[in-house]
Structure 1
Amino acid sequence: MRERDGMDGEATIQQRQATARRWAIDIALMAVIGLLMGFLGPFASERAPIVGRYVYWMICMVGGGLIGVVLDERLASRMPETWRRVVVVSVLMAPLVSLHVLATEHLVMGGPFGWAGYGRLLWQVWPISLAVMVVRTLVWRRLPTRVETLTIVAPPLPEAEAAFRRRLSARRRGARLIAVEAHDHYLKVHTDAGAELITLRFADALAELERAHGWRVHRSWWVAAEAVEAVRWRRGAGEVRLAGGLEAPVSRTYAPILKDAGWF
């Protein structure tokens, strides 16, 4: 029990560190955009004193950008399609960001605070919000692929895989299960004692492995949780690196499962 608590604590710490890193990168990105906007001085803001102009744009871009980040994180599991989500988030964030900008303009620049100004800002804020979310998405896609967190999983209970293991040869029945790969009407079962072909529908294999520690990551792949060593996600596609150098694809449909497990 103490060992399990220790593993859970380590996984929690790693997940918190990954979350803090993501927030730090997002805030730094919004700050850079705020500095750029302060330098350019759009929407007649160049008339304001230089310090006030930079303060205004930093507050607007960092605060408004973080509103978009929160909305994006909330929608990620329900809407895995990246660019569609970017557009939806930009529309949803525009009213809140406009209110934030209006209040900042009133406090920093001394501008009026009223519905007339709010309506004007909506049409200015939305394209900027869309551009910011597009830049954020491109930045995250260009960052080196890496494992942000590692979920430590307890070894599966023997009975959870017993029915499925009985289908394997004696040599691999007691081996470490790594992955199951569907090939037409048969399955390729990957273990640390080698791979083996068996005749079984993928749906039936998933049913037998329902209580095992693992995930379906693709329409034709199931992977054991303890065999996962790294997860990469780039350009809308993912890949899992497994024990023994095996690699399995990750589809958009099943990506939220790995995200919930803390892999990215």
Structure 2
Amino acid sequence: MTDTPLHLAKRELQRLLTSPKVWIGVLAVGLIAGLSGPFGTIDHLSPLPRLIYWILLSASAFFIGSGVGTFAHCALRPRLPDLVATLVAGLCVGIVLTAILAAINREIFGISPLDPEHLLGTFANVGVISLIVTLAFVAFDRLDETPDDTPQTPRPADALLRRLPPEKRGPLLSLSATDHYVEVTTPNGSDLVLMRLSDAIELATGVDGLQVHRSHWVARAAVAGPRRENGRLMLRLTDGRDIPVSRTYVSAVKDAGLIPE
């Protein structure tokens, strides 16, 4: 697949657009803002136009901001420390959303998008919000990866499985790298998580499994048996998929008892 920031941004945007939970959240924010009428909109717009204004603004800000943020972060991450790349990405989101909001306000309120005072005021609000939201997402990711220190026994790969939709969580079957994503598969389905395979494998600590290819990890309980396809060694999983075994990992797979000596 094409491993470019634009490709990854499109993929992330597609994932968000098809998520009912994301749409519920976006509509909820739009409705709350439409009813409360912040930033003077309650004085300038009647209830129905105000609701439409804030719902459209919330949706465009979230989805466009997510696409811009993912693109900027993926483009900058190889060149900058992760936190710096995240902050710069948040700043880029703020600039783009300021331009969009200025264009919308021009059509609705007749405010010139070239008015320096209006632009600076808008960017001060939108830019700060974008940075805070970006940092919050990073903090949530860090918390998801932090082991639970409570006396309860943590479930294997719990920090990784929390990143999946609830209906797809279950015993871990395999991890497969694709671009900057990892396809996490359980008996209830699979989903893409934006992270490195090595980080996903680390979060899978506690699950009896091993890496069998530079792009694949499997749980031992998920392996039904070995097979060969055009001379290539494959592992047939319990869900019917075949995972390739590269030469580098053949010895480890044999030591694990997954293929005969």
Normalised by the size of structure 2, how large is the TM-score? 0.45
Answer with 1 or 2: which has the greater Rg: 1
Normalised by the size of structure 1, how large is the TM-score? 0.45
Q: Which has the higher contact order (CA 8 A, sep 6+)?
A: 1
